[in-house]
Amino acid sequence: MQIGFAKPSPSAIEVRGLRTRLGNHEVLRGVSLKVQRGQIVALIGPNGSGKTTLLRCLLGIQKSDAGEIRLFDQPFSTVGLNRVGYVPQRLQTERSFILTVREFLALRVKRTHGWLWHSKAHTDRLLADTLEEMGVGALLDRPLAALSGGQLQRVLIAFSLIGSPELLLLDEPTAGVDTPGEDSFYEMMAQVHRRHKLTVVLVSHDLGMVYRHASWVYALNGVICCEGTPEQVMNADSLKQAYGIHVAPYHHHHGGVHAH
């Protein structure tokens, strides 16, 4: 199913014919998509369908073999990344590296605002306010490696927001988070989206979240299988195209929906 854009507006991301190989396996086989500014766009698809690879290509971490990526209507460049925030699935932090949340966030403050522009008091206030907004103000002096999955994701969003991004990319932000935690995370994310007027692109397996919060959905399986509003994509035929097998939305008792 291909549904055209109703009214053209400035795009945050535009991808045309993107092809990428990991080893001998061609993970992305000509992906094209367009993300309008201000949208929450969900990328869904089975494991190994190339969702994370696509995000990594958008950030320039993964090289592409062919195709074109434009960020904010400009050809991709590392300068454009100044306007992008990224929340990875996990960090490579070891417990032996005792970086506190305060120190971690301060790294972003210094990269964004420089050393000279902010007093320590101003930086402390900025960090405390950003963490409060994420609902994790008490974590400021905790070691990063000691945070739970849900706490870490909120700290990572705070890290991104300090850079004042216009586009936020999240890679399965609720992997390893329990269902009530998932729900409150997505509520918080929706608030952040509204408050900061962000464009959000997220990879998710939680179809309930996609249904409730996403304004546009791309189903990926090496190529874009279907796209549209959640109502248009979240039907059995579309999901079968993406997942390759019969998939029906499963409503669990917390109100969430997962593919099964």
Partner 1 sequence: MSRRITTITEASMLTEPFMVRALIAALLLGPACGLLGVFVTARRMSFFSDTVAHAALAGVAAGFLLGFPDPTVPLVVVCLGVAVVMLWLKERTELLTDTIMALLLSTSVAVGVVLLSVQRSRWVELDRYLFGDIISIGWPDVAWCAAVAGIVFSLVLVQFDSLSLVTVSEDLAHVAGIPVRRSNYVFVLILTLAVALSIRLLGVVLVTSLVVIPPAAARNLACTLRQQVLFSVLAGLIGSAGGVMASYPLNLPTGPSITLTLAALFVITLGVSMLRRKTKPALAQP
What residues make contact with partner 1 under the rule CB under 8 A?
23, 56, 59-61, 78, 81-82, 84-86, 88, 91-94, 96-100, 102-104, 107-108, 110-111, 141-144, 146, 156, 159, 163
Rounded to a whole number of angstroms, the minimum distance from the CB of residue 179 to partner 1 is 25
Q: Which is nearer to partner 1, 103 or 166 (CB)?
A: 103
To partner 1, the closest distance from the beta carbon of 151 in angstroms equals 11
Between CA 24 and CA 18 the distance in angstroms is 16
Indicate the residue among 28 and 55 with the shorter CB distance to partner 1: 55
Between 154 and 213, CB nearer to partner 1:
154
Residue number with CB closer to partner 1 (94 or 231): 94
Q: Which amino acid is at 111?
A: R
DSSP element (H, E) containing 210? helix 207-213
For residue 89, give the nearest of 146, 169, 12 by alpha carbon: 169
Please report, as a single letter, which amino acid is at residue 144: L
Closer to partner 1 by Cβ: residue 202 or 242: 202
CA 35 vs CA 16, 88, 138: distances in Å: 12, 20, 35
Q: Which alpha helices (DSSP H) does 135-206 contain, by range?
A: 149-162, 179-196
The nearest distance, CB 106 to partner 1, in angstroms, is: 8
Q: Which residue has the tokens 């007093």?
A: 119
